[in-house]
Amino acid sequence: MRIAITREVSPAIGRCELTHLERQPIDVELARTQHRAYQACLARLGCRVYTLPAEPDLPDSVFVEDTAIVLDELAIVTRPGAESRRPEVAAIAEALRPYRTLYAIHAPGTLDGGDVLRVGRCLFVGLSTRSNAAAIEQMQALLAPQGYTVQGVPVAGCLHLKSAVTEVAPGTLLINRAWVDAAAFAGLELIDVDPAEPYAANALRVGEALIYPAAFPRTRQRLEARGLAVHPIDVSELAKAEGAVTCCSLMVETPE
């Protein structure tokens, strides 16, 4: 069974943290409508959607991906790089506790889940404004006994590693080479985003399908040309908060 942990849109999302985008007004009701459509898409693709209530005092809390790294053997509760986001972690840890043994990132480490790209038994971790080398060292110590490798990857020009690259099929990555060095992913197949769509590299893989922003039709054509099943959804309001489709859920695989 695949569980998708989500959290409702905060009424305070307009006060979200921003790093690379200019602040724009966010229509909270439209953001909620788009988020419900996202949850419905997850359900159609076979996920059991588990929804936490909105957090009025935590503007970014809909972006649950940043609070934890969920692996088959364990979960790592993060220490987000933005101090305002650290109170988001406790509720997610409680939601994960029935399914995984929990570990945590400690100071001086900072880590956002959006900076962690898992490809098989390798975790690529973005060295960004939100995640640092101290967190990577802690991850290496935690995960080496489980047979994982952890590799830091510098990120420039975008918020998180998964703003620049995501896995869209086994061993196949969708990438914006302007924001991350493709040499870090040697041996993997790469699909480039359309040059006119720099923010198009974030796709959420759910089984054999992809949930993908409707705003990037040119890159969508490239994905579909590879035979990938793409399910486009409108996340325009969430994108104003530097959110994307991977950000809004945590996937937990469990026995039936």
**Could you tell me the residue ranges of all domains in the chain?**
2-253
Residue 106 is among the residues annotated as catalytic for this protein: no
Q: Which residues contact 17 (CB under 8 A, 6 or more apart)?
A: 59, 60, 82, 84, 85, 242
pLDDT tens-digit series, residues 171-185: 999 999 999 999 999
pTM over 0.85: yes
pLDDT tens-digit series, residues 238-252: 999 999 999 999 999
Q: How confident is the model at residue 255 (pLDDT cuts 50, 70, 90)?
A: confident
Query: How many angstroms separate the CA atoms of 35 and 203, rounded?
Result: 15
Catalytic position from the list 16, 158, 160, 248: 160
| Whole-number average pLDDT of the chain | 97
Tell me which residue has tokens 């060292």.
137
User: Encoding tokens for residue 234?
Assistant: 């409108």
* Mean pLDDT of the 103-116 span: 98
Calculate what percentage of the chain has a pLDDT beyond 70: 100
Helices (H), the chain: 28-44, 89-96, 133-143, 161-164, 217-225, 236-239
* Mean pLDDT of the 210-235 span: 98
Q: 111: closest CA among 36, 48, 58, 161? A: 161
Query: How many angstroms separate the CA atoms of 251 and 30, rounded?
Result: 24
Q: How confident is the model at residue 207 (pLDDT cuts 50, 70, 90)?
A: very high
Residue 254 burial (CB count, 10 A): 11
Q: What is the CATH number of domain 2-253?
A: 3.75.10.10
Tell me which residue has tokens 């960004």.
128
DSSP state of 124: E
C-alpha neighbours within 13 Å on the C-beta side of residue 229: 7
Q: Which residues contact 92 (CB under 8 A, 6 or more apart)?
A: 5, 7, 52, 64, 67, 68, 77, 250
Distance of CA 26 to the CA centre of its chain: 20
pLDDT tens-digit series, residues 112-156: 999 999 999 999 999 999 999 999 999 999 999 999 999 999 999
* Mean pLDDT of the 156-162 span: 96
Distances from the Cα of 247 to the Cα of 59, 122, 147, 160, 235, angstroms:
14, 20, 26, 10, 11
pLDDT for 220? 98
Helices (H), 165-209: none
Catalytic position from the list 16, 47, 158, 247: 247
Residue 158 is among the residues annotated as catalytic for this protein: no
Cis peptide before 87 (omega within 30 of 0): no
